[in-house]
Structure 1
Amino acid sequence: MTAVASAERLAGAGDRRVRPGAALAWTFLALVAVAALWPSLLAGHEPNAVDPAHALAGPGAGHPFGTDQLGRDVLSRIVYGTRASVTIGLGATAFAVVAGSVLSTLAALGGRAADELVMRTTDVFLAFPGLLLAMLVVAVLGGSTLNATLAIGMSSAPGFARLIRGQMLVIRESDYVQAARALGRRPLDVHLRHTLPNALPPVLVLATVQVGAAIIGGSSLSFLGLGPKPPTAEWGAMLAEGRSFLAADWAVAVFPGLALTATVVACNVAGRGLQRRFEGRRHVVR
């Protein structure tokens, strides 16, 4: 074995080491997944059970995170609210990746005119702040989990379209794509079999980070009253309700904010870790 090969193997082994921060992030995301799929395993109370006699009770034995202004258990509402927040984050990101793939495909196969039309359209949408565009969509469609997901996804799709198109421009000039064209393959077959599959892996890695941004966007809409309707538990809505009672009980707003922050940070750390692992690697589908 040559010295260069030995060095590459050692570098690859170093890249595969699990960093403590990444391990903690993935562990926390696993806990978030359990809360979203099986909230009853982690919550000790019904999220909408009202108990006015114990309203705004601070953290204690019966209610580790305290209760809100209606006496509802804050911890249980955070756990049950995970599903709405994660649904918006994952759904919006999936919608953005699919829409970006479709737009970039139209730009790649439609010739120069189609490429210019798609890219200039994405430029127009990128000129608007994402949250403002999402607010406009929700104002038209109405507030709900589905509409918030569509709104955040639509505001994120132009960025993914440009990113996927950039990957395609590089892959189109690769040897195996040129060979497929020389063999007489149809442009659509070449695109679907070679160009698009090889453009998506790095995009999907970055999509992990986008999930955190989408969760923030969905919580922002809920904070403004444009997300899921009450009494549905959702972190942004809990923050909006709790801000009026901070003087009486700090926990009612602090703990939902911590849950939101920890989830977004975990998504970012996990995404950056995946990005480091995929850097310099070629995922060629031939």
Structure 2
Amino acid sequence: MPWRRAGRSGRDNRRIGPGVAISALVVALVCLAAIWPGLLARADPNAVEPVDALLGPSGAHWFGTDQLGRDVYSRVVHGARVSLFIGVGATGIALFLGCLVGMLAATCGRLVDEILMRITDVLMSFPGLLLSLLVVAVLGPSSTNAAIAIGLSGAPGFARLVRAEALVIRQAGYVRTAVTFGAGRARVHLRHVLPNAFAPLLVLALLSVGAAIIAGSSLSFLGLGPRVPTAEWGSMLAQGKDFLTISWAMAVFPGLAITVTVIAINIVGRDLQRRSEGRHPSGTF
């Protein structure tokens, strides 16, 4: 019967698969490590102990030590703050600039739309990492500049999505009714169009955090991220690659931190995307 099918569909939409639950737990742990790293790792991530250099994983050092005797586990935990700062900061910058440019293109007439969209097309023609490298080369290496660079390279994608959503939503009946009753263009777009375009934006933003973490780690791997001795996953991976034959843990654990975090964020983001589009979440993930 229809009501039974509807009830079953509602239960399916509320159901969270084990893969999504585990991924959400991983994301929560990474956020906890970024906010309160001392809760998960007591050791000083920058404490140098030359006599303990290049030790393998043990009860005293769960992930081993690096070439200076620093505890790799503590550095991985503390590195979550910088990596997540770059990922979330870059996504926030891209979201803000994308909303601004997209709304201007949708509301300020054909000429402005054409100019802004052609600029967006030019920026999107560059590979994101190449554009980020260019911006960091101008601003200088740091975690803040890395977030700015990655945010600028990601803004065109948000701008196109905001513009497309705004053009569709402003044709809706309630928007036309508001215009009929005398609501101004700016009021209509700020009060009706932009809030209703935010659902797909937030899903894209969550998915973009993972991509931004990878981009930030790539910049740090190339020496364009935060300065040493700041713990950051990409820079730790760059240091560890030189000691793979002596101490594999130096590179493996920071690499796993990047991989697991990005996969978990993407799984949670894809699940939210399916739910926002009204599709049934996967039974497994």
> Does TM, scored on the shorter chain, surpass 0.5?
yes
SS at match of 1:135: helix
Structure 2 counterpart of 1:222, one-letter code: S
Equivalent residue, structure 2, for 1:107: 105
TM-score (norm 2): 0.96
Is residue 90 from structure 1 mapped to residue 88 from structure 2 by the alignment?
Answer: yes
**Which of residues 241, 248, 254 in structure 2 aligns to 1:256?**
254
Equivalent residue, structure 2, for 1:190: 188
Equivalent residue, structure 2, for 1:49: 47
SS at match of 2:228: coil
SS at match of 1:29: helix
User: Aligned equivalents of 1:95 and 1:9: distance in 2?
Assistant: 41
Kindly provide the CA deviation profile for residues 217-260 of structure 1, in whole angstroms up to 9, marking residues without a partner as x: 00000000000000000000000001000010100000000000
Aligned-residue identity in percent:
58
Equivalent residue, structure 1, for 2:240: 242
Contact preservation (8 Å) 2:83, 2:232:
yes
Contact preservation (8 Å) 2:54, 2:67:
yes
Equivalent residue, structure 1, for 2:157: 159
Residues 1-286 of structure 1: pairs in structure 2 closer than 5 A? 3-280=1-278
Structure 1 counterpart of 2:146, one-letter code: A
Contact preservation (8 Å) 2:221, 2:235:
yes
Contact preservation (8 Å) 2:91, 2:208:
yes
Equivalent residue, structure 2, for 1:284: none
User: Aligned equivalents of 2:7 and 2:174: distance in 1?
Assistant: 26
SS at match of 1:162: helix
User: Aligned equivalents of 1:257 and 1:24: distance in 2?
Assistant: 19
**Runs of 5+ in structure 1 lacking a partner?**
282-286
User: Aligned equivalents of 2:47 and 2:259: distance in 1?
Assistant: 26
SS at match of 1:146: helix
Equivalent residue, structure 1, for 2:282: none
User: Aligned equivalents of 2:193 and 2:7: distance in 1?
Assistant: 29
Kindly provide the CA deviation profile for residues 122-154 of structure 1, in whole angstroms up to 9, marking residues without a partner as x: 000000000000010000000111100100000
Structure 2 counterpart of 1:109, one-letter code: T
TM-score (norm 1): 0.96
User: Aligned equivalents of 1:20 and 1:94: distance in 2?
Assistant: 29
State the Cα RMSD in Å. 1.0
User: Aligned equivalents of 1:4 and 1:210: distance in 2?
Assistant: 38
Q: Which moved more, 1:251-260 or 1:3-12?
A: 3-12
Q: Which moved more, 1:161-170 or 1:218-227?
A: 161-170
Contact preservation (8 Å) 2:124, 2:157:
yes
1:44 Cα shift?
Answer: 2.9
SS at match of 2:231: coil
User: Aligned equivalents of 1:114 and 1:40: distance in 2?
Assistant: 50
1:5 Cα shift?
Answer: 4.0
User: Aligned equivalents of 1:11 and 1:208: distance in 2?
Assistant: 25
User: Aligned equivalents of 1:128 and 1:202: distance in 2?
Assistant: 24
Number of matched residues?
279
User: Aligned equivalents of 1:8 and 1:192: distance in 2?
Assistant: 35
Q: Which has the higher contact order (CA 8 A, sep 6+)?
A: 2
Q: Residues 192 and 5 of structure 1: is their aligned pair in 2 closer, same or farther, counting only changes over 3 Å?
A: farther
**Runs of 5+ in structure 2 lacking a partner?**
280-285
Contact preservation (8 Å) 2:103, 2:166:
no
Structure 2 counterpart of 1:162, one-letter code: R
User: Aligned equivalents of 2:112 and 2:6: distance in 1?
Assistant: 43
Structure 2 counterpart of 1:31, one-letter code: L
1:93 Cα shift?
Answer: 0.5
Kindly provide the CA deviation profile for residues 59-95 of structure 1, in whole angstroms up to 9, marking residues without a partner as x: 0110010000100000000001000000000011011
Tell me which stretches of 4 or more aligned residues in structure 1 moved more than 4 Å: none
